[in-house]
Every structure is written in structure tokens, then in C-alpha cells.
Amino acid sequence: MRLTILGGGGFRVPLVYRALLDDHGKGRVTHVTLYDLDASRIEAIARVLAEQAAGMADAPEVSVTTDLAEALRGTDFVFSAIRVGGLAGRAVDERVALEEGVPGQETVGAGGIAYGLRTVPVAMDLARRIAELAPEAWVINFTNPAGMVTEAMSAYLGDRVIGICDSPVGLGRRVAGALGVDPATVWLDYAGINHLGWLRGIRVEGRDLLPELLRDDAALTSFEEGKLFGAEWLRTLGCVPNEYLHFYYFSREAVAASRAAAQTRGAQLIEQQQRFYAHANGSALQAWDSARLERETTYLSDIREAAGAGERAGADLESGGYEQVALALMRAIALDERTTLILNVRSRGTIDGLDPEAVVEVPCFVSANGARPLSVDPLPGHALGLMASVKAVEQAVIEAATTGSRAAALRAFAIHPLVGSVVVARRLLERYERELPQLGYLRGRN
């Protein structure tokens, strides 16, 4: 089986390769093609992969290319994990938002809109090329903002593109741990859109254990989301939100914490990753792994500090979510190993009140036929309202990216619940256009 990684010089590629190396099952990936625009970044990553594979007789073969047609020819699966504008673009997304007094995060609020405006045109172009050159391939989208980008790519790829994120499965693993149950045996009643979802129940043999957890202060504040949101607020909500909802429920505190921090996340990652990509002597694998650990340790550090959540749990530093979801999805499709996974797919009416073409993040049944969303219980009014607002923002970004309409781009900023002012929205758009050359396609008045 052949896998092509778009963004093959990206920092998290060795995580995926490690999962492939650990998979000795029948029908495993035997060939990986790394595609990237930047040859030096792929070289740096390829050196890490070579060290990971050292001494392993059945290691998947790796080839590298900067030619898209060559990368796609004959491939079975495509992972898309690109970063348009690089980390420098991310740093702009985050800084400009914070300077305007709204949360500065790559996937949430104004930062997510700017990142989407930059990424959607490129992702759609890639989707079109994949549909032409590898029409049989399945596409797994990691590229953030993952829900919006998956929805944009589905215009060319339909249900052959599936978006993934590790935050729901990470949440499920942590909640199961707090309850002392095996994460492999639980049913997660999770629903939402990417980085905006809620765990409403966790069932073992039909019994929902969440009410028990909500009553237990010690257990509730023993894991990341419990520390971020606090026991009282979780009891009030009656569910456990995705960690990214901190930017909504505690938006002023999140802004204050990020503004007080020495650097934006993007600027911090530029420094961390520079130490790896510019690394010339010694082990590339060691340099990569120490930058990886630093990244995990400092993940969402601003909001953890705002919430007084302290350091991350050791188990959360191991990662394992991102690449495991990808591998499980790929095996389920390629080998018909039927399973359920929380994925980003078109809703098809799963969430009442949302456009059936909208991509949502819900449990899906996965088989050789792809991923089908399962029916979920209705969401409470406030959650549905928030989701519908943010989905309208995502769709306005896709409209701007496909038509070049500056008015649609302004609408995206202005209707976002975390922006809250047309005046600020206008300033955000102007400043992003000034600082991000990739937004040069926007036309018309706003």
C-alpha cells in the first residue's frame, strides 16, 4: 500500500512514520512519498525517518519529491498536512488578532479565519489535482483549520476526503483515565465541529459514567479539560467541552494571558523548530524528538496558565493521538477493519439544524466504504447556536476563497462570536491583507 504525505517536510511527519513502523499487519503501508514545496525541509525530515527505520527489515520505503504529479501517481492514501505561509504566517494570524483584543489562535476566531483565507485556495487546488491524478485515492486531511479545509476539499473529493483531529480522542482517553476505565472499551458521545465539540456522555456497556464523574470533584479536576474549565463550570454545562472551547468560555482571560506571554505560539514554534531544521551535526532523530517534547510540554500553555491548570500530565506528552487516528482510519478503509472513530465528515443531517453538506466532527462508522456519520443526540441550544455561528463563518471563508469576495471575508470576521464588532472586523481584515501576501486574491469593497 502506498501513502503520499503532502507537506512531507512538516514537523509531525515522523510521528506518522513511527506509527507505520509499528504496524506489522497484513496490508500495511510499504511505500511513503513525501511531497513538499521546500526540498530542504523534506531532506531534514527524511534524515529523521532514516534513523527511525535503522535496523528494521520491513520499514516502509521512503521517497521524496517536489513534483505533485509524481507524488500522487498510483497512491492509495494521501495525507494532507500543509501549512500555507509557514509558521511565520501563523505568528501573524495570532499577533494581529491579539493586537485587536481578540483571541490569537491558529484555528479559533480571527486567527483561524486568516489562516483559512490563506489555506482554502491552496487546499482546494490540491483537492482538484488529487481528483484528476489519483481519483481512487482516499484523502485524510490534517491541515488546519481542519473542519473548514475538509469541507472546502469535499467540493472536489466528496466523501473521499475525511478530516481528522486528535483532540476528541485525547479528551476521551483522559476522561476514561479519570474514571479508571479502559479507553478502548468506551463509547464516546461526542459531537460538534472541529475544535468546537462537547463530550456529553461516556458509556460502558450501555451505562453512562459521565454523571458519576461530574459529581466527583477530585476525579473531575485530575485531567486537562477538568483543570481548564473547573469542576463547577463542567457541572453547570453537564458535559465536557473540547479544550479549544476555553477560547469561548474564558475568552477575555485567554486574550489577557496570550497578551501577557512573551511570544505568540507561532513565534515560539519558529524558535523550537529552527533548532531542529537548522541542526547539522549529530542525530537528526534526537534533535527532532527534543523539539517535539518541547512542543508538547508548551502546548496551549497560555490558557493553561490563565486557568491555573499547571503542567501537562506525562501521558499527554507522549502524543499518540494524531498518528493513531490516522493509522486506524487508513487500516479501516484499506482492509475493511470496521470500527468507529470521531472524524470530520459531511453531516448528512446528523446534526439537526446544520447544513447537511457542512463538515462536522462526530463518531463515524468506518469500513472499506469510507466513513459514515452516526446519528447523535441533539445538542443543547447554546452549543447548537455556537456551532451554527462558527459554521457560518467557515462557509463565509470558503465563499471568499472560491469567489475572491472581500465582502465575504469581512462577513466571516464580523459574524464570528469572538470578534463582536464590525469595526474590529474591518480593521482585522485590513491588517491581515497588509501583512499576508497570500490574501492578495481578495477583490471588491467591504
By the criterion CB under 6 A, which residues form the site for ligand G6P? Answer: 144, 165-167, 265, 295, 299, 322
> What type of residue is 47?
R
Other Cβ atoms within 10 Å of 382 Cβ, number: 9
Closest approach, Cβ 243 to ligand G6P, in A, equals 8
Closest approach, Cβ 222 to ligand G6P, in A, equals 21
Other Cβ atoms within 10 Å of 318 Cβ, number: 10
258 binds, among ligand G6P, Mn ion, none (CB under 5 to 8 A by kind): none
Secondary structure class of 64 (helix, strand, coil): strand
- Cβ neighbours for 369, distance < 8 A, ≥ 6 positions apart: none
Closest approach, Cβ 111 to ligand G6P, in A, equals 11
Could you tell me how far CA 146 lies from the centroid of its own chain? Answer: 5
Closest to Mn ion by CB, 16 vs 410, is: 16
299 binds, among Mn ion, ligand G6P, none (CB under 5 to 8 A by kind): ligand G6P
In terms of Cα–Cα distance, which of 318, 379, 392 is closest to 170?
318
Q: Which residue is it, cell 478502548?
A: 184
Q: Which residue is nearest to ligand G6P (CB)?
A: 167
Closest to Mn ion by CB, 152 vs 214, is: 152
φ, ψ for residue 191, nearest 5 deg: -155, 150
Closest approach, Cβ 216 to Mn ion, in A, equals 28
Closest approach, Cβ 111 to Mn ion, in A, equals 14
Cell numbers standing for residue 324: 493513531
Closest to ligand G6P by CB, 52 vs 144, is: 144
Closest approach, Cβ 223 to ligand G6P, in A, equals 16
Q: Are 401 and 152 in contact (CB under 8 A)?
A: yes
> What type of residue is 438?
Q
HSE (side-chain half, CA atoms, 13 Å) at 50: 10
Closest to ligand G6P by CB, 75 vs 272, is: 272
4 binds, among Mn ion, ligand G6P, none (CB under 5 to 8 A by kind): none
By CB under 5 A, name the one of 126, 137, 152, 165 that touches Mn ion. Answer: 165
Closest to Mn ion by CB, 63 vs 301, is: 301
**What residues line the site for Mn ion (CB under 5 A)?**
165
